[in-house]
A and B are shown apart, each in its own frame.
Chain A
Amino acid sequence: MIPQAIISQLPILQVIVPLIAAPFCALLGGRNRAWALAFAVSLVTFAISAMLFASTLDGTVLSYQLGGWAPPIGIEYRVDALNAFVLLIVSGVGALTMLYARESVAYEIDERHHGLFYSAFVFCMTGLLGVTITGDAFNVFVFLEISSLSTYALVASGAKRDRRALTAAYNYLIMGTIGATFFVIGLGLLYMITGTLNMADLAHKLVEHGDSRTLRMGFAFIVVGFGLKLAMFPLHLWLPNAYTHAPSAVSAFVSATSTKVAVYLMLRFLFTVFGFSIPFEVDVLRTIVLPLALIGILAGSIVAVFQEDLKRLLAYSSISQIGYMLVGITLLTPGGLMASIIHLFNHAVAKAALFMVAGAYVMQAGTSTISDLRGVGRDMPFTTAAFVVGGLSLVGVPMTVGFISKWYLVQAALEQGWWPVAGLIVLSSLVAFAYVWRFVEAAYMYPTPDGVIRREAPLTMLIPMWIFAGSSIFFGLNASLTSAAASRAASGLIAASSLIWQ
């Protein structure tokens, strides 16, 4: 059907198609043309990642050598079960958000900036896909900065609605750059030890190298750097403002993908590159990352309960959900990893739906403040119903995806005998119920304020919103597809590391 010549080029096409298209979006300008190109490109990238996902289903690892240079010297793109899954999430969320963006962006951004906006959006997608697909550690830094720089610009473009978007973007820039620079320092130290930048080669040489202070410092710098990027608890300060003041389409896309890609990087470096060849790495995870993740889970949920703004509430809930993924990682068991990876997908789906709902409110009601949205459930029934579905998934109610990942996570924690951790996860779910209920109560139980007219969101916004809401029910009822992908990815990671697991 598709020529073999193209199939073998898929890994590079995944990145190069959006990379080439992005400047053209800026050149095309006008509302519809730039959007049409961006949407077409996002569909193509989604098709490519679907094909990559399909071809890694049987456990094959695709390797693409850039410019024909063999791996340890040249840059290698490497697609295995884990990053094919993450690529599918990023490009899928990208395509659907692009559909959603048309109306939302027309409302929130000046028309003369549309070309630049879509250009930055496609660049952001390029960066995230590149980070995920590459097998070269320094290439990770370059793509990470492509995605981060465009995200800062995208967040700042929310300034038309609220000028606080500018300061949010500035703070994000400062913290994001410190994070990326920490990663480069860590990588420099690893390069000092091994003289290589290819991830597979790094892993091999680090095992031979054994323990040293340089390796420990490199490990610490890289963990803190990614901690900043993925908003690990005390390093999360950039997140709430950035998500709150960004344009709605950006909030939906970034919340669903960029922290998830950072979690993927954490997994990739911890397991594939470092591989726990020295006990120090396990100690850091167990004594530093685990407590911080647990505090993040609880603190994020509790702070979310007291938020006045719906988007800010969702942002704090993200911090708590990221904590779940980190706990799954620190368990260092196939079960915990699988819970982490499956939660990566489940949270992306649910959060994208929720931020899309918030964006629909911003557009149709002109506000995302909870008290101003009283009675909105009657005026915008389909939109609010999507919120209920997404919210239930955050809580982890059975028949939603949130339940599946929490179930696996609690099970994995109990397997290790970590009762308090399991208890805390359940407790945080109760707190999550409180913040979801706060909005649902305002939306359905209170009368509409006088003189407020709100109409249902347009169809191009409802469709992507409900695809996400629908899939958080569908994959909640039938988890075999996602859990198979997650467990394959988890066993791949464990096999690549030096962890011995019965």
Chain B
Amino acid sequence: MPETLPEQVPNQLADLLIFIGGHYNYWMVIVLMMIGLYITISRGNLVKKIVGLNIFQTSVFMLYISMGKVAGGTAPIITGNPDEVYSNPLPHVLILTAIVVGISTTALALALVVRIREAFGTIEEDEILTIERDLEFPAQEASK
């Protein structure tokens, strides 16, 4: 049936576009997750690593919030109207907790970076590694 083919192709394309568009949040979750993880692994600056970690955690917040969304639902506040559709409040609560954990982690990490800066005089990972290597093998440094 050659005449149905040209119609089917745009249909499939539309389905694909709807699938991609409908999962927009989740695509962004994946993009943010990968960006965050990549920054954390690849950057040598200790503060930038923390920034990456924050982006990584933010993607998880988005994942939870997206799954709690009910189409057409409002904020989960009791209005007395039995026909009101609410978003699922549980993921919101979970993520409030996760945000608190994330903030404490960031605070602790930044405090550590301050201490590292005081002790090593730098926050670049490769320079710190050089200093540490000299601490580990003092004999080699003396022979240089």
Contacts and interface: CB of A to CB of B under 8 A. Distances in A.
Given A164-B135, A170-B46, A174-B40, A184 B60 contact: yes
Interface string B95-114: 00110010011001100110
A55 interface: no
A132 to B, nearest CB: 19
B87 interface: no
Interface stretch (A14-22, A34-42, A148-156, A324-332): A148-156
A207 interface: no
Contacts, number: 73
Contacts of B53: 174, 177-178
Given A164-B135, A191-B67, A170 B60 contact: no
B15 to A, nearest CB: 19
Contacts of B57: 177, 181
A192 interface: yes
Q: How large is the interface on A (under 10, 10 to 19, 20 to 34, 35 or more residues)?
A: 20 to 34
A188 B105 CA distance: 20
A264 B49 CA distance: 30
Interface in B59-87: 60, 63-64, 67
A108 interface: no
Contacts of A149: 104-105, 108
Nearest to A196: B90
B101 A167 contact: no
A152 B37 CA distance: 20
Interface of A is mostly: helix
Interface of A: 138, 141-142, 145, 149, 152-153, 156, 159, 163-164, 166-167, 169-170, 173-174, 177-178, 180-181, 184-185, 188, 191-192, 197
A145 B105 contact: yes
A237 to B, nearest CB: 12
Contacts of A159: 115, 119
14 contacts: A142-B97, A149-B104, A159-B119, A163-B119, A164-B132, A167-B128, A170-B112, A173-B112, A174-B49, A174-B53, A181-B60, A185-B60, A191-B91, A192-B67
A158 B139 CA distance: 24
B63 A185 contact: yes
Interface of B is mostly: helix
Contacts of A156: 112, 115
Contacts of A177: 53, 57, 105
Interface of B: 33, 37, 40, 46, 49, 53, 56-57, 60, 63-64, 67, 90-91, 94, 97-98, 101, 104-105, 108-109, 112-113, 115-116, 119-120, 128, 132, 135
B119 A178 contact: no
Contact of B67 (A164, A180, A188): A188
B108 A152 contact: yes
A178 B37 contact: yes
A173 B105 contact: yes
Contacts of B135: 164
Contacts of A180: 101
Contacts of A188: 60, 63-64, 67, 91
A467 to B, nearest CB: 33
Given A149-B108, A167-B120, 15 more contacts: A138-B97, A141-B101, A145-B104, A156-B115, A159-B119, A163-B120, A170-B46, A170-B116, A173-B108, A173-B112, A174-B109, A178-B37, A185-B60, A192-B67, A197-B90
